[in-house]
Amino acid sequence: MSSKPIYLDCQATTPLDERVLQAMLPYFREYFGNPASSSHQYGWEAEAGVKQGRQLLAEAINAEPEEIVFTSGATEANNLAIKGVAEALFQKGRHLITVQTEHNAVLDPCQYLESLGFEVTYLPVNPDGTIDLAELERAFRPDTILVSVMAANNEIGVLQPLQEIGAICKERGVFFHTDAAQAIAKITLDVRELNIDLMSLTAHKIYGPKGIGALYVRRRNPRVRLAAQLHGGGHERGMRSGTLYTPQIVGFGKAVELALSEMEAEAKRLIGLRERLRSQLSVLEEIYINGHPQQRLPGNLNISVGGVDGAALLLGLQPVVALSSGAACSSAKAAPSHVLKALGRSEKLASASVRFGIGRFNTEEEIDKVAAQAIATIQSLRGSFKF
């Protein structure tokens, strides 16, 4: 029986941590009540689990528990933030600012709003994937109501300057939303210090369950006005109706708690593995690192490989390693990554790119095995076995 390939696709999703699973299990059968049932013990027990999960998420980003709105994931959170603000403030203004390298869960809602008459400015990025703050400042208009810039890019791992962006938005009285699906509990996030008004989160990027996310919505200084996108019951302060999925919320809270407690040591370990892989691949010519070399997620290494066919490269790596060419939700598409094209990569190089997403359970031995397979595959595709 053949073993599975080494998993290096942690920007797509992560395996559920056993400690998270154990925290969730009692809420499937023993504490199965509806947390909205306030008249009996079953509801109280479920609500206690929800309350704890909400508290842990709030503490992770220096928010208040009441500012956490649970969703089905970061995609729903992004939609609620962007369309919710647009619908609530359309009489004040109909202009939004975002970035060309955003996840489609931000770009698609923005394009939908354009079909309704809103205007969106899509900021370009520098060759290293960061935005130009001067470009951002020039993009503001009197009718700008929202800026949406992701904290960490899902493909190239680049970290945007959130503090500077938040300060610019606050000075102009414009709401600042960030998609932090890839960043939560991997880098320090403080919504007060960073002047973030809305933040999208998800559990399955940090060894928690799929199907649960959250949106941080600032309550004061300033209070964010948001139009609900789901109606029917008034759950989550009227912003997101629907019976709360207690086991998932408990798992989300536990995943955040664990990731935060291990964040510093884990970041150091992941950077070590990432640089070990990068160093071994550097024996080859025409290996291009996509994104800022240091200002990136600890476990992310995205490379473009010159002189090879992209599909053949992925096929050659498959027996040993499971990874993606880009975003998991769009990796099946034939078109090159919009993120890499925004960096200025040619279509050929953008198509011949792979994303190594290193995670909690990867080892040095696995990294060495992947590096050896990558080198052999690239040399074979180039028709040479010489370094």
Half-sphere exposure of 358 (CA within 13 A, CB side): 29
User: How does pLDDT run across 377-386, given as a tens digit for each residue?
Assistant: 999 999 854 4
Active site residues: 329
- Whether residue 124 has a cis bond before it, omega within 30° of 0: no
Band of residue 234 on the pLDDT scale cut at 50, 70, 90: confident
User: How does pLDDT run across 279-298, given as a tens digit for each residue?
Assistant: 999 999 999 999 999 999 99
A 10 A CB-CB count for 115 gives 7
**Predicted confidence (pLDDT) at residue 332 exceeds the cutoff of 80:** no
Mean per-residue pLDDT, 323-332: 62
The whole-chain average pLDDT of the chain stands at 94
C-alpha to C-alpha distance for 216 and 206, rounded to whole angstroms:
17
C-alpha to C-alpha distance for 313 and 189, rounded to whole angstroms:
36
Mean per-residue pLDDT, 23-35: 97
Band of residue 329 on the pLDDT scale cut at 50, 70, 90: low
The full set of domains in the chain, from first to last, is: 6-14+263-381 (3.90.1150.10), 18-257 (3.40.640.10)
Of 177, 112, 105, give the one whose Cα is nearest residue 329: 105
Task: Specify whether the CB–CB gap between 356 and 296 falls below 8 A.
Answer: no
Looking at residue 325, what DSSP letter applies? Answer: S
C-alpha to C-alpha distance for 214 and 200, rounded to whole angstroms:
6
User: How does pLDDT run across 75-102, given as a tens digit for each residue?
Assistant: 999 999 999 999 999 999 999 999 999 9
Half-sphere exposure of 177 (CA within 13 A, CB side): 32
* Helix, strand, coil percentages in the chain from 3-state DSSP, rounded to 5: 40, 15, 45
User: How does pLDDT run across 95-138, given as a tens digit for each residue?
Assistant: 999 999 999 999 999 999 999 999 999 999 999 999 999 999 99
Of 338, 339, 336, give the one whose Cα is nearest residue 311: 336
A 10 A CB-CB count for 356 gives 28
Please report, as a single letter, which amino acid is at residue 80: L
Task: Specify whether the CB–CB gap between 58 and 65 falls below 8 A.
Answer: yes
A 10 A CB-CB count for 330 gives 16
